[in-house]
Structure 1
Amino acid sequence: MKVLIVDDIGYSCHYYARLVEKIGFAAITASSGYEAIKLLQTDNEIHVVLTDLIMSGMDGVDLFQQAQQLERYSDSGAVAHPQFILMTAVRPVKNPQDKNFQRIKLANELGFSKIMFKPLDQNELKQELNDMSLNVIHSTEGETVLDLYSPTQKVRQSVREIVEADNKEAASEFLKILLEEIANLKKYLKTS
C-alpha cells in the first residue's frame, strides 16, 4: 500500500514519510495540495493520503474535496478514491466560531477516515494504516480496488448517531437493512 504524505513544512513531510516507511508501507510526499492533486491524477497506486490540515493555498479539507472529484483509471477500469487521514497540530476549542474547529468538524462530516493530532502517535498511526491496508482489496481479475474502510466507518458513525439520539425506531430500521445486506453477502458466498 502506498501512502501520500502532504504537508507544506518540509521537515514534517520528510519525518512522516520516514515514519510510514518504518511502519512498512511505501511513502511519497507532496509539499502542497496542488502537488498532491497532480500526483493523485498520475499515480493510481496511492491508497491513503495523510494530509496536514493547515497549508497555504489549499488546506487538507480542500484537498480531500478536490480528490473526490478526480476520476482515476487504470488499464482495468476505474480506481477507487484514496482514504484520507487528516493530521493537525491545532487543538481547537469547541467554539462554533473557531475556523479550525469548523474545518475539523467538516472533515469529519465529509468522510475522512481518521483525524489525528500532531505529534502523531506512532502506534496509533501504525494501527490505522494496518487497518486500512486490510480494507484495500485487489480483485483477482485485475487492479480494481475496493475501499471497505470508508463504508465501515460510515456504518459505525451512523450507529453512534442513532445511539446518541436514543432512537429505537431508527435503530430497528438500520438493523433490518444491515441484516438484509448480510443475507445478500451470504448468498453470494454460497454461490461462489
Structure 2
Amino acid sequence: MKILIVDEIGFIRQSLNQKLSYHGFGTLTAESGEEALAILNSDFSIDTVITSLFLPSMNAIDLYKEASKIERFDDEGVSPPLHFYLTVTREHGTSSPKMKGLTREALALGFRDLFVKPIDTEMLVSKLMNSMPDSEVEKHQSKIDELELTSNSSTNDKKTKNRIDGLVVVQNSLHALKKEMCHSIDVLLDEVAKSVSE
C-alpha cells in the first residue's frame, strides 16, 4: 500500500509520514490539493489518500472529485482503485452545521472513513490493514518483519561498536597506567641504587 498524506500543516504531515513509514507503509506528502493532484497524475502506484478537510485553495471534496477524473493505469493496464480517508480537527468535525454537512458529503461521496486530529495511529493502521486484500497483508507483514530485522541488526551493530569503543578506551587506560607504573618502578629502583651506593 502506498499512501499520499495531504495536509497544509507541516508537522502533521511529517508526524503521520513517520508513523506510517514505521508501520511499513510507503508514503508521500503534499501540502495542497494542487500538489496532491500533480503527484496523483504522475504516480499511479498510490492507492490511498489521507487528506485534511480544508486545504489551501480547495477542500478535500474538491480534491476527491478532481482526483476521480484522473485516468490512472498501473504497469499491467489496470485502473487501480483510489481510497480516500478524511481528517478533521475536533472543531471542524463537531461545530457548525456547515462543517457537519461537509463531512457528511465527503463520506457520502465515497471517503472510506473519518479521523479526528490528533489521529490515533493504531486505529488508522488497523483500518488501513483491514482494507487491504489478504495477499497484500502478507506482503506488508513481510515488509514489517524485514524492517524490524534491519532495525535490530542496526541496533546490534551500534551496541557492538559501543562495546568495542569501550574496550579500546579501557585498553588505552591500562596501557597508560602500565607506562606510569613502569616509570614509577624505574624511579624507585634508581633511588634504591643511590642509597645503597652511599
Q: Which TM-score bucket, shorter chain as reference?
A: 0.5 to 0.7
Deviations 1:19-63 (A, max 9, x none): 111221011101101110111111011011010111120111111
Contact kept in structure 2, 1:47 and 1:136, CA below 8 Å: no
1:100 and 2:99 correspond:
yes
1:134 and 2:133 correspond:
yes
Map of 2:159 onto structure 1: none
Deviations 1:108-151 (A, max 9, x none): 110101111111112111101111222786xxxxxxxxxxxxxx
Gaps of at least 5 residues in structure 1 are: 138-192
Instruction: Name the TM-score, length of structure 1 as normaliser.
Output: 0.65
**What does residue range 1-192 of structure 1 map to in structure 2 within 5 Å?**
1-91=1-91, 92-93=93-94, 98-134=97-133
Would you tell me which structure has more strand in proportion to its own residues?
1
Distance 1:11 1:21 in 2: 15
Would you tell me which structure has more helix in proportion to its own residues?
2
Structure having the higher Rg: 2
Distance 2:25 2:131 in 1: 11
Distance 2:135 2:74 in 1: 16
Deviation, 1:80, is: 2.1
Contact kept in structure 2, 1:3 and 1:46, CA below 8 Å: yes
Deviations 1:128-178 (A, max 9, x none): 1111222786xxxxxxxxxxxxxxxxxxxxxxxxxxxxxxxxxxxxxxxxx
Paired positions, count: 135
Distance 1:27 1:19 in 2: 10
Please report the RMSD computed on the Cα atoms of aligned residues, expressed in angstroms. 1.8
Contact kept in structure 2, 1:68 and 1:81, CA below 8 Å: no
The share of aligned pairs that are identical, in percent, is 31
- Counterpart amino acid of residue 125 in structure 2: K
